[in-house]
Structure 1
Amino acid sequence: MNTSKPKKRRHWGRWIIVMILCLLIGRFFYAVFYKDIYCGGEQAKMVKYLESKYGKKYVTKNCHINMAGMWMKKFFAADAHEVNDASLTFEVEGNNGRYHDTFITAYYNNQEEALLGDFIKKNGINATKYYSSMRMKDDLEDELMKLPSVDSVLHDYGNRILYSINIVTEGELPNDNDIKNIEKLLEYARSRNYNDYAVRYTINSINCNSRYICQLYGNQEILNVGVGKSCFINDYGRE
């Protein structure tokens, strides 16, 4: 019986495994050192971009590499805020001197979240978390460089903004109080942006790793689904 061929196969199999491991380790170290080497330079360029755009002093931190697109193109991203004011943090991303930032949306979202918090407290909604978002379309951010008031932005550009509210509460099953909360939140969202709004209401289970979610989208008085217990879907995990 000839045992040389099985031995050769095992020999080549070991070498293939070793080569694959070396390639994986090499890619890991390349990614780590690529980040360390280039992040410092990119952050300096990001700061220069922000200072040129907004006329203020900025710092960046938490630089990391993101990948996007079919060809997994690399670009850098970092958190940024003014030198003497860290209360408003936003993201800047890009590479090779071409960058994009989220300052305008962060500026308005920060104000809207404070207003939403006041509304929640006033109406006795027991939210464990809440968020609001003004997603701007068609490069609207570029038209708001002078930072007009949030009310005037929603009034003048509401058809180019998706205004959304995300509320998280605790419980086991949707009840009448949850429906009342959703109705209040819908009324509030309509009052902020009648043209395009959304409300996402989540009930985290207290006893198990699950949740109920009701997600509503509205355009003026038209909703994607009716308001009621039937709009909730049960899902795995908690938020």
Structure 2
Amino acid sequence: MSERTVLIVDDESAIRDMLRMALEIAEYNCIEAENIQQAYTQVIDKRPDMVLLDWMLPGGSGLELLRRLKRDDSTREVPVIMLTAKTAEDNVIQGLDVGADDYITKPFAPRELIARVRALLRRSGAGEEQGRLEVSGLVLDGDSRRIYIGDEPVDMGPTEFNLLQFFMSHPERAYTRGQLLDQVWGANVYVEERTVDVHIRRLRKALQRDEADYSGLIQTVRGTGYRFSSRGL
């Protein structure tokens, strides 16, 4: 079995069984919870590498648990994929805005689920040495997966970290949303291009400081996508 552990949070036992079977075939360890209270306890006690979180749960929504995880320093970095039957764009964007790293809409094929899980775990960068990048006082340490502005640490999620790492490694070039999806999410992962805009917004917010605002490094290129540039900062 893989050392990677995935927490499955869903109130329907048949769905948990299906998810567990697919994940175990792909050699992931699985733990389960059927409501947000059980799920939070599992996150604290078992420290999973990822959470698959259903939107609709008894005793409170998955969104409520997501907010709680992202508010807590000890659980903020745990990657979360939302499982949802809600296909309206506002609901999807709401989940991403709160801090979800990805979402998958029911019904879905086990193959797609595993592709999403693998891509997100890869983006969370466990054990990968990436080196150090620095631009105008903004420092990205790939080995420890930490960001600093001066000596101050910057909090951001794994997807925003990988976006910033890609941008800092490829400055002064405009990329389309599709190209960013391929480079950061992975070419075999099917994510809507609108998702890129949400994570760009979250990345810019993380880079905003009263004493040094670095959000302007991420530039919108009209008709194309985005570019990382220190010119004019």
TM range (shorter): 0.3 to 0.5
With the length of structure 1 as denominator, give the TM-score of the two structures. Answer: 0.33
Give the structure with the higher percent strand.
Answer: 1
In our comparison, the structure showing a higher alpha carbon Rg is: 1
With the length of structure 2 as denominator, give the TM-score of the two structures. Answer: 0.34
